[in-house]
Chains A and B, each alone.
Chain A
Amino acid sequence: AQSVAQPEDQVNVAEGNPLTVKCTYSVSGNPYLFWYVQYPNRGLQFLLKYITGDNLVKGSYGFEAEFNKSQTSFHLKKPSALVSDSALYFCAVSQAGTALIFGKGTTLSVSS
């Protein structure tokens, strides 16, 4: 069975500092990995995905994520955080023909 873990409920960073939101996954085969962002009382918005190819994936709003097969991780990163990046971030995993399974989410708080 597929599963995804986001070990941090909340991440706090200062504006201008780099940020990392962690995600690890468990699947029996090759994973498809995703990051979504949710602003208050809104649906989720797609940020980026890894299907195959280059382990470093670039997405919307300056975010990127690195697929690490040996560590089964797909951490979300941004070199310089903005206050407007404050939101709830979800990591998700799927495989061919399966629905996305989401982690519990990590609240990112960027202070000015």
Chain B
Amino acid sequence: SQTIHQWPATLVQPVGSPLSLECTVEGTSNPNLYWYRQAAGRGLQLLFYSVGIGQISSEVPQNLSASRPQDRQFILSSKKLLLSDSGFYLCAWTSLGTGGEKLFFGSGTQLSVL
């Protein structure tokens, strides 16, 4: 069966420090991978998605970047964190298809930038 792992679960970082959040999927190949951010009172915002190794689409201009060095690995990064980067970050995957496939979410990372 397929599983998705996301770590760390919680992270407290000072402003200006770098960030690396990792997500891996097991039990499937060539998944579509997504990073979402959930900020208080603002719902779930799509940050990045990837349909293959090295292929990253960004939905919003921001202080973050994403990379997909391997088929089932998706990394969210920042060189210098801002206070506004605080939030709950969720990785998700779905099978490659034409749309309508449901997303499977990781357990999330609560990031606090102080």
* Distance of A34 from chain B, by nearest CB (Å): 7
A to B contact number (C-beta, < 8 Å): 63
The verdict on A90 contacting B44 (CB below 8 Å), with A43-B107, A99-B34, A99-B49 known, is yes
Which chain B residues lie closer than 8 Å to A96 at the CB level? 98-100
* A103 and chain B: residue at smallest CB distance: B43
Report yes or no: A104 in contact with B108, Cβ–Cβ below 8 A: no
Report yes or no: A102 in contact with B99, Cβ–Cβ below 8 A: no
Which chain A residues lie closer than 8 Å to B102 at the CB level? 34, 46, 49
Q: Is B66 located at the chain interface by the 8 A CB criterion? A: no
* B42 and chain A: residue at smallest CB distance: A104
Which chain A residues lie closer than 8 Å to B86 at the CB level? none
Report yes or no: A90 in contact with B108, Cβ–Cβ below 8 A: no
Q: Is B103 located at the chain interface by the 8 A CB criterion? A: yes
* Distance of B104 from chain A, by nearest CB (Å): 8
* A98 and chain B: residue at smallest CB distance: B99
Report yes or no: B105 in contact with A102, Cβ–Cβ below 8 A: no
Report yes or no: A97 in contact with B105, Cβ–Cβ below 8 A: no
Chain B contact-residue range equals 20 to 34
Report yes or no: B99 in contact with A94, Cβ–Cβ below 8 A: yes
Report yes or no: B44 in contact with A102, Cβ–Cβ below 8 A: yes
| Per-residue interface assignment for chain A, residues 23 to 67, with 1 indicating a CB less than 8 Å from any chain B CB and 0 otherwise | 000000000101010000111111001010000000000000000
Interface of A is mostly: loop
Which chain B residues lie closer than 8 Å to A13 at the CB level? none
* A90 and chain B: residue at smallest CB distance: B44
* Distance of A39 from chain B, by nearest CB (Å): 11
Report yes or no: A41 in contact with B110, Cβ–Cβ below 8 A: yes
Query: What are 17 A-B residue pairs whose CB atoms fall within 8 Å in the complex?
Result: A32-B100, A36-B103, A36-B105, A43-B92, A43-B105, A44-B90, A44-B105, A46-B104, A49-B100, A94-B99, A96-B99, A98-B99, A99-B59, A100-B34, A102-B44, A102-B46, A104-B44
Contacts A44-B44, A100-B46 aside, 9 further interface pairs with beta carbons under 8 A come to: A42-B108, A43-B90, A44-B90, A90-B43, A97-B98, A99-B46, A102-B44, A103-B44, A104-B42
